[in-house]
Amino acid sequence: MSKSSVMNTYGRFDVTFEKGKGVKLYDTNGKEYIDFVSGVAVNCLGHCHPAITKAVVEQSNNLVQLSNYYWNTKHTLLAEKLTENSDHDKVFFCNSGTEANECALKIARKYGTLHGNGDKNVILYMDNSFHGRTVGALSVTGQPKYQKDFMPLMGGVKNIKFNDINQLKENFNENVCGVIIEPIQGESGINNADVDYLKELRSLCDQYNALMIFDEVQCGMGRTGSLFAYKKFGVIPDIITVAKALGGGFPVGATIANERAASAFVPGDHGSTFGGNPLVCAVALAVLDELIDGKIIDSIPEKEAYLRSKLAVLKEKYGLINEIKGMGLLIGISINDGKFKDLVNKCFEKGLLVVTAGSDVVRLLPPLNVTKEDIDEAMALLELAMKEMVS
């Protein structure tokens, strides 16, 4: 089987997977792996969860795809489920987190057009942020390494320092139409926003009539211990973008907005051919039923505490871990002496899948329905990897 026909856009590990069940994956040679990557926070119920399988089978026997010129039942029910569990009013469905962020940026620009004097079009974004790889999302991604080869990018955007209140105030004025921020920066190293910073940002958005956008693509959908991460910070944004775990492995994104923001759009302003199709909405509904009604989200704090306790023992025992970061089951461990990639590779050899973040962090992103026994098994493999690295 030749892999040369696949475009070279990922630095893939030398493994081909063909089967998964729960927290386990199996490669073409039959080797078993514990998956603490979960598709980078996508497979929130693990692999081949029966609720997802059931939803796929039942919905594919009824209706798979439909033009957005018409309503479909699952689309409406999913929108209701999301708004009922948030402080927001309207939902736009698309296919990915990047697309959800593109929609949010367009809402902010349209809002500025409607409420400004012609110059209200500036979008502020944070250094070290990550919002996607399309031109619009890349323009508000605060990491030059992703931007440099694709210049010029979208104008009317300004980079400011994450968690720096003084710089935030200095760059806020009547020309700002929106601010996009991850409440927990995932790709750059699992960095939490300060609550005081977010409260000041909320106040400035209200003062200057700008929209506050939370990118919860990685940290949302239960991973922090609440369905939406913003609830952990005590600040309500105007727009939330979600994807990844919303579909439990199926491609779906959503831009969730309050009436103030959503009212900027009129028919023709935005669209998505496959967004909100009945099949993916049925799957997303099944996922939310498990997370919310099945009380999986309620179990996250206990699982977080258990995982952190195991990591604390390894931190003390081997001296490789500098810091245990994050919230809920979005956990990062910063590693000494630039050895974080070595640890990821060593874990892979042992049969534990983890992924890097930023300049020194290893991310642990287990399924949200992970058990203590799964955590024990994963930590045993992590310890084997650490032991070999220090011996």
160 and 247 within one domain: yes
Annotation-wise, does 280 bind a ligand? no
Annotation-wise, does 242 bind a ligand? no
233 and 101 within one domain: yes
Asked whether residue 244 is assigned to any structural domain, the reply reads: yes
Q: Which of 329, 327, 380 is nearest to 352 (CA)?
A: 380
Residue type, 352: L
Do 25 and 17 contact (CB within 8 A), yes or no? yes
183 and 84 within one domain: yes
Asked whether residue 1 is assigned to any structural domain, the reply reads: no
Asked whether residue 9 is assigned to any structural domain, the reply reads: no
Give ∠ CA 186-189-194 in degrees, rounded to 5.
Answer: 75
Asked whether residue 223 is assigned to any structural domain, the reply reads: yes
pLDDT of 1 reads 67
Annotation-wise, does 174 bind a ligand? no
246 and 365 within one domain: no
pLDDT of 331 reads 98
214 and 104 within one domain: yes
Q: Is 244 a catalytic residue?
A: yes
Asked whether residue 368 is assigned to any structural domain, the reply reads: yes
307 and 278 within one domain: no
- Both tokens of residue 57? 């089978």
**How far apart are the C-alpha atoms of 344 and 174, rounded to whole Å?**
46
pLDDT of 4 reads 82
pLDDT of 3 reads 80
Q: What's the CATH number where 204 sits?
A: 3.40.640.10
Q: Which of 106, 120, 90 is nearest to 260 (CA)?
A: 90
Range of the domain at 84: 63-293
Per the structure, how many domains does the chain have?
2
Asked whether residue 249 is assigned to any structural domain, the reply reads: yes
Q: Which of 244, 303, 310, 346 is catalytic?
A: 244
pLDDT digit of tens for each residue in the chain (391 aa)?
Answer: 678 899 999 999 999 999 999 999 999 999 999 999 999 999 999 999 999 999 999 999 999 999 999 999 999 999 999 999 999 999 999 999 999 999 999 999 999 999 998 999 999 999 999 999 999 999 999 999 999 999 999 999 999 999 999 999 999 999 999 999 999 999 999 999 999 999 999 999 999 999 999 999 999 999 999 999 999 999 999 999 999 999 999 999 999 999 999 999 999 999 999 999 999 999 999 999 999 999 999 999 999 999 999 999 999 999 999 999 999 999 999 999 999 999 999 999 999 999 999 999 999 999 999 999 999 999 999 999 999 999 8
204 and 144 within one domain: yes
Q: Which of 81, 93, 214, 215 is catalytic?
A: 215
Annotation-wise, does 12 bind a ligand? no
Mean pLDDT of all residues belonging to the chain = 97
- The values of phi and psi at residue 108, to 5°, are -60, -45
329 and 267 within one domain: no
Q: What's the CATH number where 323 sits?
A: 3.90.1150.10
Among the candidates 244, 275, 293, a domain finishes at 293
126 and 95 within one domain: yes
Alpha-carbon distances of 218 from 41, 215, 222, 240, rounded to whole Å: 6, 8, 10, 12
270 and 311 within one domain: no
Annotation-wise, does 273 bind a ligand? yes
Asked whether residue 53 is assigned to any structural domain, the reply reads: no
207 and 158 within one domain: yes
Annotation-wise, does 133 bind a ligand? yes
* DSSP-derived pairing of the beta strands 176-181 and 122-126: parallel
Asked whether residue 269 is assigned to any structural domain, the reply reads: yes
Among the candidates 251, 273, 293, a domain finishes at 293
What is the tens place of the pLDDT at every residue in 305-349?
999 999 999 999 999 999 999 999 999 999 999 999 999 999 999
Q: Which of 38, 101, 71, 66 is nearest to 240 (CA)?
A: 101
**How far apart are the C-alpha atoms of 227 and 363, rounded to whole Å?**
20
| Alpha helices per DSSP H over the chain | 38-41, 50-60, 73-84, 97-115, 135-139, 144-147, 165-171, 195-207, 259-262, 278-288, 300-318, 340-350, 372-390
Q: Which of 305, 290, 385 is nearest to 341 (CA)?
A: 385
**How far apart are the C-alpha atoms of 345 and 354, rounded to whole Å?**
9
Look up tokens 């349209």; give the residue: 110
Alpha-carbon distances of 379 from 114, 183, 237, 366, 383, rounded to whole Å: 53, 27, 36, 12, 6
Among the candidates 277, 293, 309, a domain finishes at 293
* Sheet with 352-353, side-by-side order of all strands: 17-21, 24-27, 32-35, 352-353
Q: Is 340 a catalytic residue?
A: no
Q: Is 194 a catalytic residue?
A: no
326 and 216 within one domain: no
Do 381 and 346 contact (CB within 8 A), yes or no? no
